[in-house]
Structure 1
């Protein structure tokens, strides 16, 4: 299903949702990837577009870099910080240095990580959830099949192409008694699958990511002109929506699929450029906030500039919405995640305020999403996921709680309890960033009607192997840390208890994977949310993301820049303001919505006290 939306959008410029949806269903059996899709992807990367001067970024990311107009477009290959590690040097899973297979990811998950519930004393669920929004905006591995690797009896289905199902140990205390032998895992499409002439693939394969590589809200607007056409209303600059009790939501469709379950006539799925919109309630809610924010901006700009046509209103609203999102991402969210001082030292942010520009765009660096970031390091923060979501009143009283596993890919609850869930998002504590993972994602991920589900930690480890991510010890060395020569050398960053667990799982200290070893490190100086090895990778990724984007909101380039008064307004953006402006009937929130409520340091205040971006600065804007 994750392949299908993009597949249809590339092949068919359909403006009617019904035809598009029917074509998705019609082509479901054409997976993993057919010749037409291969040809279209290859063509995208072969033909250079004619770039026109514009202050608006293209929907597909082309022409962001004038000298290299194809840099950053959809279906680009994941890049690498270190060379790939595959068993055969090309694509098979790496093995132990002893020559044996590495242990099952499920075995690692159950023997390394705990399932204790330890709440974070500082941060709300919004902190975790915004990180997932950014992850989805930046990358999306193209899955090679929509079918499950495991049959209805939970045994291997060898007919599914590119299946590397996760084996379940015979002594697994939760799954073995239910006769579960495998967990679904389908490998991602790579460049050798596409085989784009004349560039024949030599050596290790590189996987494909479907959206643009830029932080540009592609999850809302799409990454191809065909997606964009389906999602726009072409009236007043607005995005298409459905209405419930006078409130806007993404358009509905009612055909069940792998990423959204229809169990009754009351169920529906949300239409988006990214099918993961339906994955979990809080993820959906934030995407609804940004959809509503676009339309809120468009309506206000229309009042201020009644002479603007649909295209002008749409492009200006998209531009402002993305700018606000980038500001919140780097100056409100990432400063917690990577540490304020660390980001200043690494020139990811600056202590600028008001109307000062930042002019360090680097046209010589290619915009990239690094494999090690998207498919190993960044997945560590699944540890923050809270498995039970609180529904709260405006006075922040708990009405009820829901289990995450009951609402994976079932968005109907969104419209039934939109504000109650939203208040929980910015009030409830997330799980602590540690070695504990909620059982809702270790045993019940995407369970639907089953009595069990998948294991997200096991899937994360397997995805690292799928993408040939180099080992933990190699990254320690690459990041300037001492290379371990014995198990004991890991004690500089990992506790003795965790090193003992690693010894019981891996045959050699050299076998430890980045997606495991990196998650066990002690946090850097209590100023970030990761250890030094993963922090090193995050620094590389988020520096690249900002300095390679010619349209970055702080740019002073006359061709793309906001005016100084406009930039000063963008810098008033906050997640709290997004929450206030786009909830149904919420009137109060704490100013720092990623931080827990504190009566003295971060009290709940009326929304009127949250700074507002003054859109009048765009009156009669050129």
Structure 2
């Protein structure tokens, strides 16, 4: 209750000022329009906060004014973290009040000014307003929370900012109501679970050209870029009102019928303090900054730093291999297999989703090890550097490695060669930072497009000993693996449990992007394994999330966003989809339902581009997002002020194969390009006789990527020895950071 008092005081003051201002002459009021708008927005904020008091004194109330429940209000306005927009507006008001000769200050009597400023301090905390954030463009390291990347727009891309609308919303009311209405029919859109049942099945197929590293790596990218949280509100079991948007399950559903009547569903957290179109919030940083390692806020970052060696990250030690493991997350209640006596817990990292499945956890562990490996080398080479300098330099190097691997090795297969080259995504392409480019994550990318990875999820995860013979170790069943700590501590594997999963990724083939989704995620997601009807269907949730976010239909996005020819008939769809997929869409959406096709559904049914995993619309969305992430990031590793030319030469030697060589137990050899299998691709480049034995050299040859029938045409991708730098180059850390950054970094984690 005490926390409400400053809000109430501030409300009363604001109401009196706003009322007085509206009594002024109209021409003068226009001059103060911006200030009045700020005050009115703030008044609305405080009024909502004031509703809490009414709820507290009204026991048993289910919902209050405008359908807002007590928990909803408390979640939206009880902390800075959950309502960043409210904080930004209060800070903006503070700055205007500080302008003694400004219009707002003239409106406010001195005694009211003091009360308002005092109230703002009480709400935000005195430090938040008395020390206005100043962006120093000479600081060589990123901020943890993503602020000050863009000097002119310090909040852009930071944690807690809205997703970007790159195509007009399709909310039913154009403002906020979920997309539920059919474009043509009087009836509503087909039920999300019905769409999933009609279009998808679980007969998964693998792709001979790619390894399963791709799915785990894609998930890690996703978790570096975006996290949109559901609102923490109470919904009835099958509520479909206000912020509750449950998915109905029919009695005759082949999997869930009779076991569940619906999938409960809560709408995404959004910027509830701003009027106009509902915009969902990204709770982590936008940038490709390896925030999954370090966190997106200072508190998390600080909690992950090793107490004994503050330049390194906290870790456990694998009793079998002596290598680092993730530190324990003892607060994760959903973790299975916890054994306090044995010290078995799900892992803790910069992103809270680290324990979702063993492949993801293993890659988190790999990058933890890489940071600590680099930090140790830097300590050994530079005994005059402080712990903070070593930590920041190691973080900067890991971030550069991460970006280089994404752009040099991963992106070609989700954009295709043509878009990859035309968008200048390659490491050798010309590059210049552009502060006018907004790198924020597109809503369509987050809530529909990048969920393509869900089609790549396998029903099982292969594990391999150091000889790579996967049959020697039992596979992990995916339906048993969600948030399960036991697989990280399997002492029956002599060369490391985590390491066996990482080795297995280089052998197991990747599932195709198609309508075949693993039963583990469509029939039993997060449910009791092998219990029919328990858990969720991830495809249904994806469809519903797109509707919650007001994402337009697949055909609209193709035309309006990507500029492709309009799809006017189902026969037109057969140019980009297989006939059986088109027929499935016609059955569930209706003969006039082309503009009803949900984005996620249409995206993954397209035929893939040459040498790519995805079709043209996904490639278009990915090329745009990663182009903005490259050219709109002041700290992108290719920017000339990030590394010297000699340092860049070392960074560009890094491959995913090298990271695995350096950080996985028992690996003495590995294929140079680990996103594709251990194979010698027989066709030579152009018609010549030369073969490349190093992916580092191959990627710099000018022939990568390409649309040849052999994806690695001319590349010998047979396993090579890790101690052969001519085949798998090694970055020389002694050549990095020859200059010493002598600056005070005490305030940074």
Is the 1:376–1:515 Cα contact (8 Å) retained in structure 2?
yes
- Which of 127, 131, 139 is 2:226 aligned to? 139
Give the CA deviation at 1:236.
4.5
Is the 2:454–2:517 Cα contact (8 Å) retained in structure 1?
yes
Equivalent residue for 1:51? 135
Give the CA deviation at 1:44.
5.2
Is the 1:232–1:238 Cα contact (8 Å) retained in structure 2?
yes
Give the CA deviation at 1:285.
0.5
Gaps of 5+ in 2: 1-70, 93-131, 491-496, 682-715, 741-749
- Which of 129, 151, 158 is 1:73 aligned to? 158
Equivalent residue for 1:442? 522
Gaps of 5+ in 1: 1-27, 151-155, 353-357
- Which of 199, 202, 218 is 1:115 aligned to? 202
Is the 1:236–1:302 Cα contact (8 Å) retained in structure 2?
no
Equivalent residue for 2:311? 237
CA 1:146–1:130 in 2, change beyond 3 Å: closer, same or farther?
A: farther
Question: Is 1:370 the counterpart of 2:413 in the alignment?
Answer: no
Is the 2:349–2:364 Cα contact (8 Å) retained in structure 1?
no
Equivalent residue for 2:582? 499
Question: Is 1:208 the counterpart of 2:278 in the alignment?
Answer: no
User: What is the CA–CA distance in structure 2 between the aligned matches of 1:337 and 1:160, rounded to whole Å?
Assistant: 37
CA 1:146–1:394 in 2, change beyond 3 Å: closer, same or farther?
A: farther
User: What is the CA–CA distance in structure 2 between the aligned matches of 1:133 and 1:403, rounded to whole Å?
Assistant: 20
- Give CA deviations for 1:482-535 in whole Å, capped at 9, x if unaligned: 2223333322222222111111111322211211112211222x1322222222
- Which of 200, 210, 222 is 2:295 aligned to? 222
Question: Is 1:412 the counterpart of 2:455 in the alignment?
Answer: no
Equivalent residue for 2:718? 603
Give the CA deviation at 1:342.
2.3
- Which of 622, 626, 638 is 1:538 aligned to? 622
SS in 1 for 2:167: coil
Equivalent residue for 1:583? 664
SS in 2 for 1:360: coil
Aligned positions of 1:232-271 closer than 5 A = 232-233=305-306, 235-245=309-319, 246-258=322-334, 260-261=335-336, 264-265=339-340, 266=342, 267-271=344-348
User: What is the CA–CA distance in structure 1 between the aligned matches of 2:83 and 2:635, rounded to whole Å?
Assistant: 30
Q: Which moved more, 1:609-618 or 1:298-307?
A: 609-618
Aligned positions of 1:459-498 closer than 5 A = 459-478=541-560, 479-498=562-581
User: What is the CA–CA distance in structure 2 between the aligned matches of 1:112 and 1:434, rounded to whole Å?
Assistant: 10
Larger radius of gyration: 2
Is the 2:479–2:529 Cα contact (8 Å) retained in structure 1?
no
User: What is the CA–CA distance in structure 1 between the aligned matches of 2:583 and 2:162, rounded to whole Å?
Assistant: 37
- Give CA deviations for 1:110-158 in whole Å, capped at 9, x if unaligned: 21112113111011110111111001100000221287x68xxxxx254
Give the CA deviation at 1:254.
2.8
CA 1:263–1:415 in 2, change beyond 3 Å: closer, same or farther?
A: closer
Q: How many residues align?
A: 571
| RMSD across aligned positions (CA) | 2.3
- Which of 383, 403, 413 is 2:455 aligned to? 383
Is the 1:167–1:183 Cα contact (8 Å) retained in structure 2?
yes
SS in 1 for 2:190: coil
- Give CA deviations for 1:242-293 in whole Å, capped at 9, x if unaligned: 22323222221334424x3355545412222321100000001101111111
User: What is the CA–CA distance in structure 1 between the aligned matches of 2:254 and 2:240, rounded to whole Å?
Assistant: 29
- Which of 78, 82, 86 is 1:42 aligned to? 86
Is the 1:56–1:319 Cα contact (8 Å) retained in structure 2?
yes
- Which of 368, 373, 390 is 1:313 aligned to? 390
- Which of 157, 162, 167 is 2:248 aligned to? 167
SS in 2 for 1:540: helix
User: What is the CA–CA distance in structure 2 between the aligned matches of 1:220 and 1:433, rounded to whole Å?
Assistant: 28
User: What is the CA–CA distance in structure 1 between the aligned matches of 2:369 and 2:435, rounded to whole Å?
Assistant: 33
Larger RCO: 1 or 2 (CA < 8 Å, sep 6+): 1
Is the 1:280–1:411 Cα contact (8 Å) retained in structure 2?
no
Question: Is 1:83 the counterpart of 2:143 in the alignment?
Answer: no
Give the CA deviation at 1:464.
0.7
SS in 2 for 1:322: helix
Is the 2:288–2:629 Cα contact (8 Å) retained in structure 1?
yes
CA 1:90–1:544 in 2, change beyond 3 Å: closer, same or farther?
A: same
- Which of 143, 166, 176 is 2:257 aligned to? 176
Is the 1:145–1:162 Cα contact (8 Å) retained in structure 2?
no
Runs of 4+ residues deviating >6 angstroms: 28-31
- Give CA deviations for 1:359-402 in whole Å, capped at 9, x if unaligned: 42111122210011111111122111111112211112221112
Aligned positions of 1:250-399 closer than 5 A = 250-258=326-334, 260-261=335-336, 264-265=339-340, 266=342, 267-351=344-428, 358-397=430-469, 398=471, 399=473
- Give CA deviations for 1:409-458 in whole Å, capped at 9, x if unaligned: 11231132212211111211111222211111111111146713211111
CA 1:205–1:60 in 2, change beyond 3 Å: closer, same or farther?
A: same
User: What is the CA–CA distance in structure 2 between the aligned matches of 1:90 and 1:257, rounded to whole Å?
Assistant: 37
User: What is the CA–CA distance in structure 1 between the aligned matches of 2:476 and 2:85, rounded to whole Å?
Assistant: 41
Give the CA deviation at 1:74.
0.5
User: What is the CA–CA distance in structure 2 between the aligned matches of 1:596 and 1:443, rounded to whole Å?
Assistant: 30
Give the CA deviation at 1:159.
11
User: What is the CA–CA distance in structure 2 between the aligned matches of 1:159 and 1:457, rounded to whole Å?
Assistant: 19
Is the 2:192–2:544 Cα contact (8 Å) retained in structure 1?
yes
User: What is the CA–CA distance in structure 2 between the aligned matches of 1:30 and 1:321, rounded to whole Å?
Assistant: 40
Give the CA deviation at 1:340.
3.4
Give the CA deviation at 1:90.
2.2
SS in 2 for 1:314: helix
- Which of 176, 187, 191 is 1:100 aligned to? 187
Is the 1:220–1:273 Cα contact (8 Å) retained in structure 2?
yes
Is the 2:83–2:271 Cα contact (8 Å) retained in structure 1?
no
User: What is the CA–CA distance in structure 2 between the aligned matches of 1:337 and 1:129, rounded to whole Å?
Assistant: 14
